[in-house]
Structure 1
Amino acid sequence: MSFFVSLSGMRNAETDLRVIAHNIANAETVGFKKSNTQFSDLVAKGASVDPRRTPGLGATVVAITQDFALGPLEQTGRTLDLAIDGDGFFALANPVSGDIAFSRNGNFRLTASGAIEDAWGNRLQAYPVDSAGNPTSTTPADVSVPLLSPVPVGPTPGTLSNVSIDARGTIIAAYSDGTTAPVGQVALAIFGAPAGLRAIGQTKWQASGESGPPAFGNPGVGNFGGMISGALERSNVELAEELVALLTAQRNFQANARAIDTATVITQTAINLRQQ
């Protein structure tokens, strides 16, 4: 039995090492959130077992939880780099399937057609607005920036020269004829239980039954974090903490391996005594 107890400890230590290695590998990934491994002991017991003599059966992994603590904010000066100072996620739509994913990575770009998307082509979701920049709908949709001035001041419409985003999340297009026009307001999503979000890679998550459905809102309102333009949220991985955890997990693995070696010696001694 001691073999299986120590084997469970080795498996858990290996899982812990994989989680820590994943955190370290993404220490420089924008918008990445570190994970932690949680363990629980296994106990063999029954109604007729003396509680003072209850043997243990080892340990198991209970959960691998994500830590959504805010990472450091780094100024980039690029107008389409966005950071959320507080709670919330950017909503991104897959242009093919229409599936919505959520991310803290605010590194966006403007396409030739006027869409705002991330590095993988997912479209940023925003509320449509009127000429004063006030939202006209509570349903987010793809951002579409007009390439020509919607209200030209001369006979020829001005061409798009710049796109900026203010602290309210309002997307403002500037044109060569000197005119500006609001084209949308970035929609943020929050969840009742963000730890239940399903990680899908590319620093994105999907809603699940454990996280609950997303609630959309405006940046800086209520529980929704403020919007910072020209900045990105770095990974919340602390390398010093991860290296200490890495050493601890390594020691745990070695200790369980040594326990198996000891159990092997004891078993071999018992077999040798029986053969004599």
Structure 2
Amino acid sequence: MGFQQGISGLNAASKNLDVIGNNIANSGTVGFKASRAEFADLVASSMAGFSGGKSAGFGVETATISQQFSQGGLNMTGNGLDVAINGGGFFKLQLPDGSAAYTRAGNFKQDKTGDVVTNDGAHVMGYKVDPTTGIASSTTTPLSFPVGAPIPAKLTTSITATMNLDARANLAAGVPAAAGPPAVVAIPATPRSTYGTSVNVYDTQGVATPVNLYFAKKGPNEWEVFDKLDDATAVPPVVATSIGTVKFDNNGVYDPANAAITLTVKPASNPNSPPVADIAVALDLSSMTQFGAKFAVSDLQQDGFASGELKGINIGADGTIMASYSNGVTRAEAQIALTNFRNPQGLTAVGSNNWVESGDSGVPVDGKAGSGSFGTLRAGALEESNVDLTAELVNMMTAQRSYQANAQTIKTQDQVMSTLVNLR
């Protein structure tokens, strides 16, 4: 027995206690991954010239500190910017110095400029979504949402109406009485406002202008469309003209052969000079029906909106960030990016819940939540540390006994050496 074995054992036990203590200290750290000390024996036969099987060994060394990337529990917080990864992958960050880092801690914040950041100021990366097409970009950029300025208004270009026109309705012009034979009972004209609805459209400055739509039955399965009523009080009197015709088949289904209808809306409610240009709005009536039921408007939508302030965001399981604005618009603005590695245990921990790429981890592979090997995201939740406190406390007692035992070997060796020195 030599002092070297005991000293190496003390060092190994001390390193083990360091790792266990670090795990216990971070048991409440969001996204923390536990580590374990892994040891290897030292054999001195090749140095001392001993043949195999006759060496007592030279002690122990710390082979590596291995990170354990098992899934941590999910803690529901209710905070909209808290995000947990359930499965594989890391959030991609851009550190203040511009370098890339990766984390499992999703306790994000929004700073005064609208950027989504971590507690130490790193920017969270994602894919921007085109608000017009709804398609996400293929390159990652720092996530940011407008907090100091409203989103710009959008010009209305189309109106989509879903409604039912009563198939039992009489002709709008009415039927005059006839003496016959056979006698015909007079049917009064139907007021044009009987089958009408309205919707606001928006000009380039986001000022709303109401648009009225009226439907008057012209003949069997045929209706005329108007955007105004007659005005007998005007001088001269105004007689509204039809802006189009809608026909249905014998089953009450919209006839796809109908000609397209375009409204020309004058934004009369906008007082600016020079006046804002007239709005050309395509009217989509393809979802209309003519059944024997009461006139009913099921849905009436247009694609414009006024300017609006950001009110809140909601994050989906695939990382899509839906932003809600004060003008009633809810749209996809971005998608959180995830990154994975061939060997996550090869990542280098740099503190602040972050890891960076190393030669052992492999190159980073960007992707989106729910695809391939990437896990899904849970908004309003955080991934807890995967440290098992009970196991760590047991490991600590074992490491303590190991330290005491190695100290005892040194003490025993000292007693042996003292006996040899005191021989007479």
Task: Give the TM interval when normalised to the shorter protein.
Answer: over 0.9
- Deviation string for 1:2-61 (max 9, x for gaps)? 111100000000000000000000000000000000000001123963323122100000
What's the secondary structure of 2:91's corresponding residue?
strand
The 2-side partners of 1:144 and 1:118 are apart by: 13
Q: Tell whether 2:337 aligns with 1:191.
A: no
Q: Which residue of 2 aligns with 1:38?
A: 38
The 1-side partners of 2:343 and 2:100 are apart by: 18
What's the secondary structure of 2:323's corresponding residue?
strand
The 2-side partners of 1:173 and 1:202 are apart by: 28
Q: Is this contact kept in 2: 1:193–1:211, CA < 8 A?
A: yes
Q: Which residue of 2 aligns with 1:125?
A: 125
- Deviation string for 1:154-209 (max 9, x for gaps)? 43511111111111101121111111232211110000110010000011000011
Offset at 1:263? 0.3
- After TM superposition, the structure 1 = structure 2 runs for residues 104-119 of structure 1, keeping only pairs within 5 Å, are 104-119=104-119
Instruction: Select the residue among 263, 266, 276 that pairs with 2:416.
Output: 266
Offset at 1:151? 4.1
The 1-side partners of 2:28 and 2:5 are apart by: 37
- After TM superposition, the structure 1 = structure 2 runs for residues 1-276 of structure 1, keeping only pairs within 5 Å, are 2-46=2-46, 49-95=50-96, 97-131=97-131, 132-137=133-138, 139-147=139-147, 148-151=150-153, 154-155=206-207, 157-273=307-423, 276=424
The alignment-based identity, stated in percent, is 43
Unaligned runs of 5+ in 1: none
Unaligned runs of 5+ in 2: 155-201, 208-305
In structure 1, give the amino acid aligned to 2:117.
E
Offset at 1:120? 1.0
Q: Is this contact kept in 2: 1:34–1:236, CA < 8 A?
A: yes
The 1-side partners of 2:7 and 2:134 are apart by: 61
Q: Is this contact kept in 2: 1:143–1:183, CA < 8 A?
A: no
| Most deviating of 44-53 and 257-266 | 44-53
The 2-side partners of 1:133 and 1:122 are apart by: 27
The 2-side partners of 1:99 and 1:159 are apart by: 32
In structure 2, give the amino acid aligned to 1:20.
I
RMSD over aligned CA atoms reads 1.5
Offset at 1:62? 0.2
Question: Taking structure 2 as the reference length, what is the TM-score of the superposition?
Answer: 0.62
The 1-side partners of 2:153 and 2:376 are apart by: 30
- Deviation string for 1:208-245 (max 9, x for gaps)? 11101110001000100101111000000000000000
How many residues are aligned here? Answer: 272
Provide closer, same or farther for how the CA distance between residues 206 and 181 of structure 1 changes in structure 2, counting only shifts above 3 A. same
The 1-side partners of 2:50 and 2:102 are apart by: 50
What's the secondary structure of 1:65's corresponding residue?
strand
Q: Is this contact kept in 2: 1:133–1:184, CA < 8 A?
A: no
In structure 2, give the amino acid aligned to 1:232.
L
The 2-side partners of 1:65 and 1:111 are apart by: 35
What's the secondary structure of 1:187's corresponding residue?
strand
In structure 1, give the amino acid aligned to 2:107.
N
The 2-side partners of 1:217 and 1:151 are apart by: 32
What's the secondary structure of 2:114's corresponding residue?
coil
| Most deviating of 31-40 and 42-51 | 42-51
What's the secondary structure of 2:124's corresponding residue?
strand
The 2-side partners of 1:163 and 1:90 are apart by: 18
In structure 2, give the amino acid aligned to 1:199.
A
What's the secondary structure of 1:53's corresponding residue?
coil
Offset at 1:146? 2.7
The 1-side partners of 2:112 and 2:55 are apart by: 69
The 1-side partners of 2:364 and 2:78 are apart by: 30
Offset at 1:144? 2.1
The 2-side partners of 1:126 and 1:52 are apart by: 58
| Most deviating of 104-113 and 231-240 | 104-113
In structure 2, give the amino acid aligned to 1:239.
L
Q: Is this contact kept in 2: 1:151–1:179, CA < 8 A?
A: no
In structure 1, give the amino acid aligned to 2:140.
P
| Larger helix proportion of the pair | 1
The 2-side partners of 1:133 and 1:254 are apart by: 64
Provide closer, same or farther for how the CA distance between residues 35 and 221 of structure 1 changes in structure 2, counting only shifts above 3 A. same
